[in-house]
Amino acid sequence: MRAQIQLLPDGRRLHLHDGPIDLVVEAFGTPNAIDCAYRAASARFANVLDELCRELPLLRQPPTDPPEGRIARSMYAAVLPYTPNYFITPMAAVAGAVAEEVLLAITSAVLLARAYVNNGGDIALHLTPGESFATGMIDNPSRESFFGTVTLDFSQPARGIATSGWRGRSFSRGIADAVTVLADRASQADAAATIIANAVDLPGHPAITRVPACFLSPDSDLGPRLVTQGVGRLTSEEIAAALSAGAIVARSLVSARLIHSAVLHLSGETQLADASTHVGARALACPPGKICAFPAPGSPFHA
Amino acid sequence: MPAPTAPSVPDSDAIRCDACPVLCYIKPGRAGSCDRYANANGQLVRVDPHVILDHALSEGDSLVPFLDQTREWDGNIVHGSETFVTAIGAGTTYPDYKPAPFIISSQVQGVDMVTVVTEGIFSYCGVKVKIDTDRHLGPETSTVRAQGEAVGHVTTSEYGSQMLSLGGVRHLTGGSRKEGTVTCETLLNLCEKKPVELSVDGGATVLVQAGQPPVVDGFREERMRVGCGSATIGMFAKQWHGKVDEVVVVDDHITGVLSEHQAGKLLGVAPTGIRVKGRRSTPGRYFRVAEPGTAWGGTNIDDPLSILEPFNPKIAWPKLRLLMVSTTGEHRAYFELDEALRPVEQDLPNVLSESVARIKENCEPALSTVLFMGGAGGSLRAGVTENPVRLTHSVRDTLTRVTCGGAPVYVWPGGGITFMVDVSRMPNNAFGYVPTPALVAPIEFTLKREDYAGLGGHMDHVRSLDSLAQREGRRHLKAHPENPWPLSPAALKRTNQ
């Protein structure tokens, strides 16, 4: 079998790896329940990559006909609301959709107080009354300090967290260091983070290095579209302008009830986008940034 | 505003990664979508999580109790001498003339040590496969094939085992593209301890997996022969004496006959008038009683009587008891002569089944074992020192210890650094490949810091073990319990295990 599945050295979290997918799963419950959860996650994970690759050409195109696979359909559904106004393919939601699917496999198999599936910063959460999750955020994956946390409890509707930015693993057409989004589902958060991060931009700015995506990665779903490869020094006015361009898009998504809230981060500046009285204002304890990929001391949430 | 879809035509300089079904096209200097495989100057290389071995103190407490008594708290949670950085996933700087990816310093019992860690790209490499079986796999020098492609040949057999020599530069890069690719895949799978089906021209098909019994023509080999037919007679003559009149141990190499054998003579076993086909070597020892094969004792015979001529009527007698057995005890038959002195098969008497069982018991489990063999080329050595030949000398002088994923290696005498390593003692997923095709294998050189400086090492690239603690993507493994610890003091003196 190609997939590699093992417990991380802490003996608590499960690491599932296959091709480009790396999931970190943690379930909280009795040893039996955790065992059952990890078995369910492993069983579901075994076919995930093959399932996706079967429909890869379709998933790399803007949505037209719905795909077949369950994960592919979540991806499709997550990006569909954006198709009239934006270029987006179902691949923009792949990480969140995979996290969601594996979490579903776990929660269908066993009752747990809480659990999460973290797919490289795109996270699907399971919470029960009285439970909460805190997530650290960083703005640059190569630095490990984080400067904000997201705390979600059962009373809040969001069960998906996703982050997009030009420094991340996927290409971004914008210049945001990180846009973190809370949405009902991880796939929805994933798609929205992509859209908002693309909108944090200063079109035509000379300090921004842009390269056609296909020059870097010939089979990128972005084809010849320019993606950001470097951001030089920006004035504070430019930073504010780029962030507000992104915030306008973010607020429109909040109004359309596609997401709960978003936090946009660029060159050390942060802007929160929600309905200002929205639940997200409480959830995103700032200053926020990228979902942390490293453990916060004492934090229950790390990957 | 939907825009045109992405062109999925590969660029001329992109390579296609087939490590997973995503099948990324990767441009030079870029990694695939997994960030684990990358295109380094047209070669697919792994940039996998870096494997670090932890000396399994919790498992080996009783073996190394002295450590706790002699070790003084140095303020580190990770003790240098108990953590060894392997080259697995370290990446390589080949073919650039620049320092190896990791040059790690550590202190072992007060001695400053340096481990130079790199992955080598070996187009001059192969595996030697030892297959514990007497069954004939094919004539010497016959071509060995995987998926129909020539990947190696049958080489000289060794005691109780057949040997295959697979890979090497001629199959990897000297033949067709497909031959090279299949050879590379075969080597990789064997090194990764995966099962590989090999077929020998004019011989058998054998399923080989490191550390597992071979399966020859669908037959799973259980045991190695206890010895040749003659040796078996020697070992068991006493146990047979008095319980049977004649024993023939059928063996493709040397078939033994109790009554004629020196061991039988010493016990006073009477002549039986038996006549064995084949060429008599010395009394009671026969070469070539049949053709090699996968039946009785590694011969091609299914009916043991086919190797016998009629008994000499002047010597043989009716009711003469005859045991025929193979060198593993797997095949056996018991006969008594009728009035016409023809052998008639009977049930094996209990007193004899014990001795047959004992032959079986004395045969060791049959395994396939795989040794990876490669040579550290000049540019790899250049990553270690500015004066590559000095590294060779240092290895020769056993000042430098060579390990392969933390496993001990045997360094072949003579020029260069040509080494062999038992893949079963290496961590899983230690090997990779590049589309050259060539194998990527980890290699570590450990030596005293002062020696490293002396041979022109890249001293300005030496970094502490602690600096790695901050690095992402590390994979911590417990050290293989049978391997000598790469940093142990004994390592300072000797290189070859």
- What is the amino acid identity at position B73? W
Instruction: Give residue B60's pLDDT band: very low, low, confident or very high (50, 70, 90).
Output: very low
Mean pLDDT over all residues of chain B? Answer: 82
pLDDT digits (tens, 9 = 90+) for A135-189: 776 665 555 455 567 788 888 899 999 999 988 778 999 999 989 999 999 999 9
Torsion sign over Cα B35, B37, B39, B45: positive
Does the model's pTM come out above 0.80? no
Task: Give the pLDDT confidence score for residue B58 in this predicted structure.
Answer: 31
- Per-residue pLDDT, A138: 63
CB contact under 8 Å between A19 and B25, yes or no, is no
pLDDT at B168 over 90: yes
A122 within a domain of the structure (yes/no): yes
Instruction: Tell if the CB–CB gap between A217 and B26 is shorter than 8 Å.
Output: yes
Query: Residues 417-476, chain B: which have Cβ within 8 Å of A?
Result: 429, 470, 476
Select the highest-mean-pLDDT range: B66-75, B88-97, B180-189: B180-189
CA nearest neighbour of B219 among B324, B155, B296, B289: B296
Range with the lowest mean pLDDT among A27-36, B51-60, B115-124, B308-317?
B51-60
Instruction: Name chain A contacts of B9, Cβ cutoff 8 Å.
Output: 218
Residue B87 has pLDDT above 90, yes or no: no
pLDDT at B47: 67
- On whether any CB of chain A is under 8 Å from the CB of B18, the answer is no
Closest CA to B230 of B270, B285, B292, B276: B285
**Distance from C-alpha of A170 to C-alpha of B156, rounded to nearest angstrom:** 54
* pLDDT at A300 exceeding the cut of 60: no
Overall average pLDDT of the B154-181 stretch: 90
Q: Is the pLDDT of residue A193 over 50?
A: yes
Q: Model confidence at B120, in pLDDT bands (50, 70, 90)?
A: confident
Q: What are phi and psi of A161, to 5 degrees?
A: -130, 135
The per-residue pLDDT for B159 is: 80
**Gap from A151 CA to chain B (nearest CA, Å):** 25
**What number is the average pLDDT over the span B288-305?**
89
Q: How far is B174 from chain A (nearest CA, A)?
A: 30
Q: Is A224's CB within 8 Å of B8's CB? A: no
Q: Which residues of B touch A4 (CB under 8 A)?
A: 429
Rounded to the nearest angstrom, the minimum Cα separation between B70 and chain A is 27
- Report whether A34 contacts A114 (CB < 8 A): no
Contact B27 A216 (CB under 8 A): yes
Q: Could you count the other beta carbons within 10 Å of the beta carbon of residue B284? A: 26
How many residue pairs from chains A and B have C-beta atoms closer than 8 A? 78
The answer to whether position A35 is within a domain reads yes
**For range A54-68, the mean pLDDT:** 93
Q: Is residue B138 a contact partner of residue B168, using CB atoms and an 8 Å limit?
A: no
Does the structure show a pLDDT above 50 at B420? yes
Q: What is the dihedral of CA A165, A167, A168, A174, to 10 degrees?
A: 30
- Is the pLDDT at B249 greater than 90? The verdict is yes
Rounded mean pLDDT, B142-147: 96
Residue predicted with more confidence, A248 or A3: A248
B77 reaches A (C-beta below 8 A): no
Grade residue B164 by pLDDT with cuts at 50, 70 and 90.
very high
Lowest mean pLDDT among A96-105, B3-12, B138-147, B231-240: B3-12
**How does residue A107 score in pLDDT terms, banded at 50, 70 and 90?**
very high
Q: Which residues of B touch A215 (CB under 8 A)?
A: 27
Q: How far is the C-alpha of B443 from the C-alpha of B461, rounded, in Å?
A: 18
- Average pLDDT estimate for B15-27: 85
Distance CA A80, CA B345 (A): 80
d(CA A274, CA A285): 13
For residue B385, what pLDDT is reported?
84
- How large is the average pLDDT for residues A46-70? 93
Strands laid side by side in the A148-153 sheet: A284-285, A148-153, A132-138, A290-291
Give me the interface pTM, i.e. the ipTM.
0.80
Domain-embedded: residue A298: no
- What's the mean pLDDT when you consider all of chain A? 84
The band of B375, judged by pLDDT with boundaries at 50, 70 and 90, is confident
Rounded Cα gap, residues B448 and A136, in angstroms? 42
**Lowest mean pLDDT across A288-297, B343-352, B487-496:** A288-297
Cite the DSSP H helix spans in B251-387: 262-267, 350-361, 378-382
Q: Is residue A187 within 8 Å of A96, Cβ to Cβ?
A: yes
Cβ separation A222–B6 shorter than 8 A: yes
Q: If you compute the radius of gyration of chain A from its CA atoms, what whole number of angstroms results?
A: 18
Contacts of A49 in chain B (CB under 8 A): 20-22
CATH number at residue A165: 3.10.520.10
Task: Report in angstroms the alpha-carbon separations of B18 from A188, B8, B24, B189.
Answer: 30, 16, 7, 15
Question: B1 — contact with chain A (CB < 8 Å)?
Answer: yes
Residue A253 falls within a domain, yes or no? yes
pLDDT value at B201 more than 50: yes
- Confidence at A9, pLDDT banded by 50, 70, 90: low
Determine which of A91, A217, A294 to mutate to test the interface with B (most B C-beta atoms within 10 Å). A217
Contact A218 B2 (CB under 8 A): no
Tell me what the mean pLDDT of segment A15-44 comes to.
90
Residue of chain A nearest B428, judged by CA positions: A4
- At residue B68 the predicted structure's pLDDT band, cuts being 50, 70 and 90, is very low
Q: Which two tokens stand for residue B37?
A: 């495989």
Residue A303 located in a structural domain: no
Per the CB < 8 A criterion, the answer to whether B11 and B27 are in contact is yes
List the single best residue of B13, B16, B24 to mutate versus A (max A Cβ within 10 A): B24
Nearest to B20 among A9, A18, A217 (CB): A18
Residue B68 CA, chain-centre distance (Å), reads 36
Contact list, A56 vs chain B (CB under 8 Å): 22
Residue B363: pLDDT band (50, 70, 90) is confident
Residue B148's CB is within 10 A of a number of other CB atoms, namely: 10
Structure tokens at A128: 């029960």
Does the beta-carbon distance from A216 to B30 stay under 8 Å? Answer: yes
Position B90 pLDDT exceeds 60: yes
Residue A299 lies in a domain: no
Is B41 within 8 Å of chain A by CB? no
Taking any CB pair shorter than 8 Å as contact, residues of chain A touching chain B are: 2, 4, 9, 18-20, 49-50, 53, 56-57, 60-62, 83, 85-87, 144, 169, 213-225
Checking if the pLDDT of A283 tops 90, the result is no
Cβ-Cβ contacts under 8 Å for B59 (sequence gap 6 or more): B478, B481
Q: Residues near A283 by Cβ (< 8 Å), separated by ≥ 6?
A: A150, A151, A152, A156, A158, A182, A260, A261
Q: CA-to-CA distance for B14 and B10, rounded, in angstroms? A: 6
The DSSP element (H or E) to which B246 belongs, if any, is strand B246-250
Whether the pLDDT of residue A302 is over 50: the answer is no
Query: Which domain does A180 fall in, by range?
Result: 4-291
Residues of B with Cβ-Cβ distance to A225 under 8 angstroms: 3
- Res B332: pLDDT: 94
For position B417, what pLDDT does the model report? Answer: 87
Two structure tokens written together for B135: 């069954």
Q: What letter would DSSP give residue B46?
A: E
A302 within domain boundaries: no
* Contact in structure between A41 and A117 (CB atoms under 8 Å): yes
Residue B116, chain A, CB below 8 Å: the answer is no
Which of B100, B95, B152 is CA-nearest to residue B459? Answer: B100
**Quick one: what percent of chain B has pLDDT higher than 70?**
84
The pLDDT assigned to A142 comes to 53
Q: What pLDDT does residue B133 have?
A: 87
Instruction: Tell me if A43 is assigned to some domain.
Output: yes
CA distances from A47 to A106, B32, B219 (A): 15, 20, 33
Neighbours of A13 (CB within 10 A): 18
Q: Does B27 touch chain A (CB under 8 A)?
A: yes
Q: Label each residue of B63-112 as H, E or C.
A: CCCHHHHHCCCCCCCCCHHHEEECCCCCCCCCCCCCCCCEEEEEEECCEE
A108 — pLDDT class (breaks 50, 70, 90): very high
- A62, A144, A220: residue with CB nearest B2: A62
Which residue do the tokens 């492609």 mark? B149
Count of domains for chain A: 1
- The pLDDT, as a whole number, for residue B7 is 43
Using pLDDT thresholds of 50, 70 and 90, give the confidence band for residue A279: very low
The pLDDT, as a whole number, for residue A208 is 93
Residue B429: its chain A contacts at CB < 8 A? 4
Nearest CB to A19: which of B26, B30, B34? B34
Q: What is the DSSP letter of B31?
A: B
Please indicate if any CB of chain A lies within 8 Å of the CB of B22.
yes
pLDDT digits (tens, 9 = 90+) for B223-233: 888 888 999 99
Tell me if residue B325 falls in helix, strand or coil. strand
